[in-house]
């Protein structure tokens, strides 16, 4: 899908962020258009998770700016960004194990008007029939893959404009990874933009429109996924980032 | 813009600041005692009694300062020991259970009883978390009071008994005052000696960076027990003096409010300081006198003061008086390590052959973090350890450091097995390390932080430090000059007296390396030392690490910076999912297919 | 005699259990143990006596007012003593700030109310002083009702589920967009009310006495230590066990040494099982 000439949905420029004294992200620029699937790749410690956290407001920035749907996200915390249509599914499929699947989804819809909540829960479950069958089961009884699906479903309850997924494939079997990524494609068709952080390069490139690579806190590669020779360029970017 | 560097020879001489520093420290303390001396001559008896009370409180609080301010153990119920000392002394002098004992002997016996009871009260600190320990001390305070009430035949129960009478010339108000003042002076001197010894630094290390303290060889249990003995004895002797002051004691002289006063004096004074808590004690003792109509509210005011300090100025009076650390620091500081100095630091006998791991297995919550790993770190070589997140790199370091014992497999150093799980011995066996996130004592100076690394090489005993005997002084001189050399080697000598928490992240990383040197290790484990460093700093770090290995020290380097690894390592091990994926020279690893796909996610 | 020990043991045990629940509720919301939990129990008794006996208000009004006041004290705890220190990395600060606040509360009551125990009103007027007197079964009834109400809250209401969520995984709850700060404040208000109820229902046993503050701080903490932090079921069991043990010790060795006995038990259990008998998994240090 071509990037529209109009304002992008998410616009990051010159972002500097970190934890306390430790600066992780340096001068990061990124744009995501409405309905685009963008994948963010990079070696460990590069700062991918930190970037997602900075966008959703879990981590504060030192410099730069982030605009979402035309509004500035400066100083805004995760509750407000979620309200504005930016859903962040954090890494590690951290769902609430002591509560049922339905309750987990209801919690995701905490700020959704009460009348609509049940409908939204049903809608989110419709993407994942495997866990829809386990609506009343506690989170602790779900397998790792099912918990990951539940975490993604939580992100969908808000009907976000942009869904950010942090390594949804971690610890999942290949079959389940394909299931989750198939949902990403389905979402794209409904007009939801997706920012996918991944370790599995081939699968991520297959499902995305554009790719960014992050190494040591800086963007070292930016391309469309139909460009040639991407795997080699990525390897270069990962291992020889000083030269880049 | 680099800070101008000193010549290698210049780095070896002792900084003159050390001498001035001790006068800056001792000056205000001496001043307070000088001001206290003329009190009986310029005021009336009432104020002499108040001043005596303040001095007696300080005998307890000064020692308790080591427990609360330095060791960070929140012993809230310490009035228990005051009570114990008061009753023991009074009962012995009165002759209720034995023939009457002379006052000074009774005080000494009370001191011994206090030492024993101090250990009992303190023991839970080794096992319990902060809040639990605080509550347990409250329980002790209640129990002692209950026993005093119940054991009527000995303590007189609710009626109480007379306190000891001091012999001439201490039986007058002025005479007793000077005696207590001398005791207060002695406690000040002794605790100041401990503060400036490896024991005092060891305490603050245990308080603020306990994992790093273990890795530098500080034995927490032994250290805390010594402190509890000393503090228990002092508190009990203070109790005996208190009984003499009161002339008659009953159980309700020992209220919870007193415990609160002791505790809060230390905290508003500031942790890690001697002067602060002393001022705190004087202020809190005198406060009710000046605010007489508010006497009923005195504990309320203490509590308000405590809350204000915690919220607004957690460093207390000491931080407010710390003018040295108000000076602005240059903003564009760069770190310029001097690899040439490394030779002065690492001249230990390098007979040890290497660290060897064989078949090490370790799981957390049923998941195998390390799944049968063989690893060799040779002396004089740099061995890189890389791998994706969750591959087990830091866990391997933690097993070598002794924080975890493996379920299977062995670790050996120089052919001899290393005891699994024994983290406190690693430093003396020649293994030092740095941490993924710097573990330092923010409130202490950079120099003190580095000196903590040399704790195991000190020779003086606790008592020798307490009394400032020659071996203690020699220790301090040596440790100080070695620490300055280490700081010069990493390029941080100009920041030696600055509070560590004012340093930039990258400077803290180099400071940790300087600290690691102090133990004269045969092997250094570096956990992601380049994280958060700029490209320039990473280059200099690389050169520095190479210099370390050229001295014969073995280095195990865990890193994400692929270029640093390929640049300086002699040998690389790649981990994935807890197993060794590949081992070889950097050139071999760089083109190894499986390694590339593990990183890129095949 | 046995009946009397059981009655008083279970009654006072119910009060201790509820204070344990107060500690747990504050802990679940913030990972902080607060020295104001016992003070809230004391306030429950003092406010009850103040509103009903001294000011002559009807009992129900007095109860409601007490709940409101205790909720406010809970909110003040969160705002003044907990929120500011959560941001700091220093582990020990919350002990000091809540200790300071607890002391302030205690001193205000000591000066403005009384340092001596004051009478507490009869609630229903049932029982006539024997072992079936309301002063024994009222705390037990309150404990049972409170536990049931909490279960309903946590299982059936979205707010209650949100409390459980921030207790289980605070970071994930924040990332999901849950209003973590408001939920924490609400938890503290709730904890305040539970503490107040404990003191109110136990008022006829413990009287309106300022010394109940530190007493309940300790005796209310023992169930938490035994049952494990954050574990309400453990706190209930621990509370009743403690109550029975204490009354039995009272009878066997006398009032003074019973507190020694309780304390010995506390220390021995903690040293043997520092995470409580029902163990709570602590995060790794390294």
B367 touches chain A (CB under 8 A): no
Residue B323 lies in a domain: no
C-alpha angle A56-A57-A61 in degrees, rounded to nearest 5: 120
Which parts of B1-129 fold into alpha helices (H)?
A: 8-12, 17-36, 39-42, 45-65, 79-94, 103-122
Question: Are B235 and B365 within one domain?
Answer: no
Residue B210 lies in a domain: yes
Question: Which DSSP string corresponds to A59-105?
Answer: S-EEEEEEEETTEE-TT--HHHHHHTTEEEE-SS----TTSBHHHHH
B138 touches chain C (CB under 8 A): yes
Residues of chain A with C-beta less than 8 angstroms from the C-beta of C180:
79
Residue B287 lies in a domain: no
Q: Residue by residue, what is the 3-state secondary structure of B417-459?
A: ECCCCCHHHHHHHCEEECCCCCCCCCCCEHHHHHHHCCHHHCC
Tokens 């005891």 correspond to B419
Instruction: Evaluate the omega torsion of the peptide bond into residue B169 and state whether it is cis, within 30 degrees of 0.
Output: yes
Please give the CATH number for the structural domain made up of C2-272. 1.10.3470
Q: Are B124 and B116 in contact (CB under 8 A)?
A: no
Q: Count structural domains, chain B.
A: 2
Residue A99 C-alpha from the chain's centroid: 24
Residue B393 lies in a domain: yes
Residues of chain A with C-beta less than 8 angstroms from the C-beta of B528:
45
A231 touches chain B (CB under 8 A): yes
Q: Give the pLDDT confidence score for residue B13 in this predicted structure.
A: 35
pTM: 0.88
Question: Dihedrals φ, ψ of C258, to 5°?
Answer: -65, -35
Domain of residue B377, residue span? 355-430+555-602
Q: pLDDT for B592-601, tens place per residue?
A: 888 877 766 5
Distance, CA of A153 to CA of C248 (rounded, Å) = 55
CB hemisphere CA count around B225 (13 angstroms): 10
DSSP-assigned beta bridge partners for residue A32? A10
DSSP letter at A225 equals T
Q: Give the pLDDT confidence score for residue C281 in this predicted structure.
A: 53
Distance of CA B598 to CAs A228, B574, C203, Å?
A: 22, 10, 66
Query: Which residues, other chains included, contact B520 with Cβ-Cβ below 8 Å and sequence gap of 6+?
Result: B345, B346, B347, B348, B430, B457
Is the Cβ pair C162, A107 closer than 8 Å?
yes
CB hemisphere CA count around B492 (13 angstroms): 29
Residue B395 lies in a domain: yes
Q: What share of chain A is helix, strand, coil (3-state, %, to 5)?
A: 35, 25, 35
Question: Dihedrals φ, ψ of C94, to 5°?
Answer: -65, -30
Q: Give the pLDDT confidence score for residue B6 in this predicted structure.
A: 35
Below-50 pLDDT ranges, chain A:
1, 3-4, 242-244
Query: Which chains reach chain A with 3 or more Cβ–Cβ distances below 8 angstroms?
Result: B, C
Question: Which DSSP string corresponds to B281-297?
Answer: HHHHHHHHHHTGGGGGG
Of B190, B222, B256, which residue is a domain's last?
Answer: B256
Helix (H) or strand (E) holding C13: helix C2-30
Cα-only R_g, chain B: 28
Distance, CA of A154 to CA of A123 (rounded, Å) = 11
Residue B95 lies in a domain: yes
Is the Cβ pair B389, A44 closer than 8 Å?
yes
Is the Cβ pair A23, B532 closer than 8 Å?
yes
Distance, CA of B354 to CA of B416 (rounded, Å) = 10
User: Nearest residue of A to residue C181 by CA position?
Assistant: A79
For chain C, the domains span 2-272
Below-70 pLDDT ranges, chain B:
1-21, 347-352, 599-602
Q: Are B485 and B341 in contact (CB under 8 A)?
A: yes
Is the Cβ pair C172, A103 closer than 8 Å?
no
Beta strands B382-386; B554-558: pairing state: parallel
C284 touches chain B (CB under 8 A): yes
Distance, CA of B520 to CA of B210 (rounded, Å) = 21
Instruction: Find the CB nearest B535 among A199, A202, A242.
Output: A242
Q: pLDDT for A80-118, tens place per residue?
A: 999 999 999 999 889 999 999 999 999 999 999 999 999
Chain A: residues touching C (Cβ < 8 Å): 56, 58, 77-79, 81-83, 88, 90, 94-99, 103, 106-108, 110-111, 154, 158
Residue B495 lies in a domain: no
Q: Give the pLDDT confidence score for residue B127 in this predicted structure.
A: 80
Question: Could you give the dihedral angle defined by the CA atoms of residues A198, A199, A202 and A206, in that order, rounded to the nearest 10 degrees?
Answer: -10
Q: Give the pLDDT confidence score for residue C280 in this predicted structure.
A: 54
Query: Which residues, other chains included, contact A119 with Cβ-Cβ below 8 Å and sequence gap of 6+?
Result: none
Question: Are B78 and B201 within one domain?
Answer: yes
Distance of CA B471 to CAs B184, B192, B200, B476, Å?
A: 25, 16, 16, 9
Taking only the tens of pLDDT, chain C with its 286 residues reads 788 899 999 999 999 999 999 999 999 988 888 989 999 999 999 999 999 998 989 989 999 999 999 999 999 999 998 888 887 767 678 888 999 999 999 999 998 988 888 888 888 877 777 777 888 889 999 999 999 999 999 989 999 999 999 999 999 999 999 999 999 999 999 999 999 999 999 998 998 988 889 889 989 998 998 888 888 999 999 999 999 999 998 888 877 778 788 888 888 887 787 666 655 555 566 7
Residues of chain B with C-beta less than 8 angstroms from the C-beta of A23:
505, 532
User: Nearest residue of B to residue A200 by CA position?
Assistant: B601
Is the Cβ pair A158, C169 closer than 8 Å?
no
B295 touches chain C (CB under 8 A): no
Residue B176 lies in a domain: yes
B563 touches chain A (CB under 8 A): yes
What is the CATH number for B384?
A: 3.40.50.300
Q: Are B122 and B80 in contact (CB under 8 A)?
A: no
User: Nearest residue of C to residue A53 by CA position?
Assistant: C175
């Amino acid at each position: 899908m071509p990037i529209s000439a109009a304002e992008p949905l998410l616009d990051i420029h010159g972002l500097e962020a970190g934890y306390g004294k430790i600066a992780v992200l340096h001068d990061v620029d990124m744009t995501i258009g409405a309905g685009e699937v963008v994948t963010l790749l990079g070696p460990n410690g590069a700062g991918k998770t930190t970037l997602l956290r900075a966008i959703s407001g879990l981590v504060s920035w030192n410099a730069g700016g982030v605009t979402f749907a035309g509004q500035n996200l400066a100083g805004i915390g995760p509750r407000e960004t979620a309200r504005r249509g930016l859903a962040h599914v954090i890494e590690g499929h951290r769902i609430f194990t002591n509560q049922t699947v339905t309750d987990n989804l209801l919690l995701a819809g905490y700020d959704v008007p009460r009348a609509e909540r049940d409908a939204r829960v049903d809608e989110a479950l419709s993407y994942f029939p495997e866990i829809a069958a386990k609506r009343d089961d506690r989170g602790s009884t779900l397998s790792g893959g099912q918990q990951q699906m539940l975490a993604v479903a939580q992100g969908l309850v808000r009907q976000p404009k942009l869904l950010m997924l942090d390594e949804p494939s971690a610890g999942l079997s290949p079959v389940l990874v394909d299931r989750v990524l198939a949902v990403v494609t389905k979402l794209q068709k409904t007009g939801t933009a997706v920012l996918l952080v991944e370790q599995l390069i081939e699968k991520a490139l297959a499902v995305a429109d554009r790719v960014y690579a992050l190494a040591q806190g800086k963007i070292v590669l930016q391309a469309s996924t139909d460009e040639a020779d991407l795997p080699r360029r990525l390897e270069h970017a990962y291992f020889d980032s000083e030269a880049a | 813009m680099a800070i101008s560097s000193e010549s290698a020879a210049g780095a070896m001489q002792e900084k003159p600041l050390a001498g001035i520093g001790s006068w800056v420290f001792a000056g205000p303390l001496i001043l307070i005692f000088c001001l206290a001396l003329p009190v009986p001559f310029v005021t009336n008896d009432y104020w002499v009694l108040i001043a005596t009370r303040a001095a007696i409180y300080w005998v307890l609080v000064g020692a308790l300062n080591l427990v609360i301010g330095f060791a960070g153990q929140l012993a809230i119920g310490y009035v228990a020991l005051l009570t114990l000392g008061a009753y023991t002394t009074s009962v012995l002098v009165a002759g209720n259970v034995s023939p009457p004992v002379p006052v000074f002997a009774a005080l000494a016996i009370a001191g011994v009883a206090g030492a024993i009871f101090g250990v009992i009260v303190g023991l839970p600190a080794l096992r319990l978390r902060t809040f639990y320990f605080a509550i347990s001390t409250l329980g002790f305070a209640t129990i002692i009071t209950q026993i005093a009430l119940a054991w009527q035949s000995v303590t007189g129960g609710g009626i109480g008994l007379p306190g000891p009478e001091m012999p001439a010339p201490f039986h007058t108000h002025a005479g007793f005052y000077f005696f207590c003042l001398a005791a207060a002076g002695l406690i000040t001197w002794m605790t100041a000696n401990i503060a400036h010894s490896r024991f005092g630094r060891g305490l603050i290390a245990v308080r603020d960076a306990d994992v790093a303290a273990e890795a530098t060889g500080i034995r927490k249990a032994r250290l805390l027990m010594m402190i509890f003995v000393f503090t228990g004895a002092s508190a009990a002797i203070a109790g005996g003096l208190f009984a003499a002051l009161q002339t008659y004691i009953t159980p309700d002289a020992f209220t919870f409010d007193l415990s609160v006063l002791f505790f809060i004096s230390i905290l508003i004074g500031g942790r890690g300081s001697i002067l602060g808590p002393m001022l705190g004690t004087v202020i809190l003792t005198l406060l009710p006198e000046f605010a007489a109509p508010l006497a009923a509210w005195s504990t309320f005011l203490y509590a308000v003061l405590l809350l204000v300090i915690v919220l607004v100025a957690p460093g207390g009076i000491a931080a407010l008086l710390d003018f040295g650390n108000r000076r602005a620091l240059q903003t564009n500081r760069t770190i310029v390590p001097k690899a040439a100095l490394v030779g002065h630091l690492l001249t230990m006998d390098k007979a040890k052959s290497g660290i060897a791991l064989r078949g090490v297995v370790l799981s957390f919550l049923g998941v195998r973090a390390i799944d049968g790993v063989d690893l060799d770190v040779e002396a004089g070589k740099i061995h890189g350890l890389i791998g994706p997140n969750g591959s087990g790199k830091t866990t391997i370091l933690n097993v070598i450091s002794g924080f975890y014992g493996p379920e299977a497999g062995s670790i050996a150093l120089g052919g001899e097995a290393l005891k699994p799980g024994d983290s406190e011995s690693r430093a003396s066996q020649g293994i030092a390390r740095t941490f993924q996130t710097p573990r330092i004592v923010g409130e202490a100076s950079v120099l003190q932080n580095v000196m903590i690394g040399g704790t195991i090489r000190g020779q003086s005993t606790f008592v020798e430090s307490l009394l400032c005997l020659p071996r203690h002084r020699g220790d301090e001189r040596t440790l100080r000059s070695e620490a300055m050399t280490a700081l010069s080697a990493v390029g941080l000598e100009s920041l030696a007296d600055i509070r560590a928490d004012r340093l930039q992240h990258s400077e803290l990383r180099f400071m940790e390396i300087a600290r690691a040197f102090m133990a004269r290790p045969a092997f250094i484990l570096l956990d992601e030392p380049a994280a958060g460093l700029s490209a320039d700093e990473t280059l200099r770090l690389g050169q520095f690490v190479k210099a370390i290995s050229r001295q014969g020290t073995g280095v195990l380097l865990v890193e994400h910076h692929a270029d640093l690894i390929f640049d300086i390592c002699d040998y690389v091990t790649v981990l994935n999912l807890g197993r060794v994926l590949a081992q070889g020279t950097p050139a071999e690893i760089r083109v190894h297919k499986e390694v590339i796909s593990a990183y890129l996610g095949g | 005699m046995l009946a009397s020990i059981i009655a008083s043991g279970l009654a006072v045990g119910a009060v201790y259990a509820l204070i344990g629940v107060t500690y747990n509720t504050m802990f679940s919301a913030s990972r902080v143990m607060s020295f104001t939990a016992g003070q809230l129990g004391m306030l429950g008794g003092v406010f009850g006596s103040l509103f009903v006996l001294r000011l002559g208000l009807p009992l129900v009004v007095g109860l409601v007012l007490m709940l409101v006041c205790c909720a406010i004290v809970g909110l003040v705890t969160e705002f003044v003593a907990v929120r500011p220190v959560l941001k700091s990395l220093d582990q020990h600060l919350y002990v000091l700030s809540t200790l300071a606040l607890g002391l302030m509360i205690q001193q205000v009551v000591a000066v403005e109310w009384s340092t001596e125990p004051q009478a507490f009103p009869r609630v229903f007027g049932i029982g006539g002083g024997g072992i079936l007197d309301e002063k024994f079964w009222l705390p037990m009834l309150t404990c049972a009702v409170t536990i049931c109400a909490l279960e309903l809250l946590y299982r059936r209401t979205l707010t209650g589920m949100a409390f459980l969520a921030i207790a289980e995984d605070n970071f994930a709850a924040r990332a999901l967009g849950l209003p973590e700060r408001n939920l924490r404040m609400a938890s503290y208000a709730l904890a305040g009310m539970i503490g107040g109820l404990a003191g109110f229902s136990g008022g006829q046993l413990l009287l309106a006495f300022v010394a109940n503050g530190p007493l309940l701080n300790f005796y209310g903490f023992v169930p938490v230590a035994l049952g494990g932090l954050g574990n309400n079921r453990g706190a209930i069991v621990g509370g009743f066990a403690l109550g029975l043990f204490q009354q039995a010790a009272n009878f066997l060795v006398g009032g003074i040494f019973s507190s020694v006995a309780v304390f010995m038990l506390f220390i021995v259990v903690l040293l043997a099982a520092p995470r409580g008998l029902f163990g709570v998994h602590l995060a790794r240090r390294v």
